[in-house]
Structure 1
Amino acid sequence: MPDQTSPAGSTVPTAEGELTAEDAKLVTLARGARARVGAAEGAAVRDQDGRTYAAATVALPSLSLTALQLAVASAAAAGATRLEAAAVVTEAPSLDPEGHRAVRDLAADAPVHVASPAGALVGTVTA
C-alpha cells in the first residue's frame, strides 16, 4: 500500500474493529467473493445509493482484472456515478495500483480498506 507521504494515497493503520458497520460489511463481502472461487483477491465497493458490488480476481488467457477493478466495473455498469468506500481482501503486501486507480475514477476520496484473508484490517488508503 502507498505510505502516508505518497502522493498516490496514504495508508492509515487501523485496529480491527474500527470500521463502521457498513465498511465491515464490505470486508465480509470481499472475503466471501475471494473464498467462493479461491481467487487471489476479493473486493467490494459501495456506491452513492448504498448498493454493494463484490468481485474476485479474474485471470484468463485473454482477460485479467483485479478484484477491485471488477467490483468498480460492476458498480459502473449498474449505473453508479460515485463510490462511498471500497475493501480489498488480499495476501499482497500492497494495494494494486490498477484497482486503486479504478476506485479513484469514481471517487477522489473514498477510503479503500485493505484486509488480510482472515478479515483483519491492514490499513486504509484515503487518497
Structure 2
Amino acid sequence: MPEVDPEDAKLITLARSARARTGAPEGAAVRDLDGRTYLAGSVALPSLKLTALQAAVVAAVSSGAEGLEAAVVVSESESVDAGSRAAVADLSADAPVLLADPSGTLR
C-alpha cells in the first residue's frame, strides 16, 4: 500500500465520516488552494442526483474556492466515475483524485 500524505489522510477521514454520517454509498472530501476542506455524501433526490465528489466540489465552489489541491472518494466502487473526475478538473486539471474503500485503504 502506498504511503499517504498526512493532508490526504485527513481528506480520507473526512470522506469516511461524510459517508458514515449520511449513510450514503459514497463520501468525498476536497481541499482547496487555501487549505480549506469541504465534504459531502452522495445526493439522490427526485430532482437532483450528484455523486459525493460532485457535491463536495459544489460545496467548495459555492464557498468561493477557485481551485483544488486534492480530492478523495470513499466508496465500495473500484473506480471514480468520469463525471466526478470532470468536476474536479473544472477547477484544477492537475489535482489528484484518490479512491479509498470504506475502511480508508487506498485502491
With the shorter chain as reference, the TM-score category is over 0.9
Q: Pairwise CA RMSD of aligned residues?
A: 0.7
Q: Does 1:57 align with 2:42?
A: yes
CA distance in 2, matches of 1:31, 1:114: 11
CA distance in 1, matches of 2:81, 2:37: 20
Gaps of 5+ in 1: 1-14, 123-127
Greater RCO structure (CA 8 Å; 6+ sep): 1
1:75 aligned counterpart, secondary structure:
helix
The residue type paired with residue 36 of structure 2 is R
CA distance in 2, matches of 1:25, 1:112: 14
Which structure's CA Rg is the greater one? 1
1:55 aligned counterpart, secondary structure:
strand
Match of 2:90 in 1: 105
Q: Aligned ranges for residues 70-85 of structure 1 at < 5 Å?
A: 70-85=55-70
Between the two proteins, the alignment pairs up a number of residues equal to: 107
CA distance in 2, matches of 1:87, 1:79: 19
Gaps of 5+ in 2: none
State the TM-score, normalized to the length of structure 1.
0.82
Q: Aligned ranges for residues 1-127 of structure 1 at < 5 Å?
A: 15-16=1-2, 18-122=3-107
In proportion to residue count, which structure has more helix?
2
CA distance in 2, matches of 1:38, 1:96: 20
Task: Map Cα deviations across residues 7-59 of structure 1 (whole Å, 9 max, x no partner).
Answer: xxxxxxxx15x111100000000000000011010000000000000000000
CA distance in 1, matches of 2:7, 2:95: 13
Identity in percent? 63
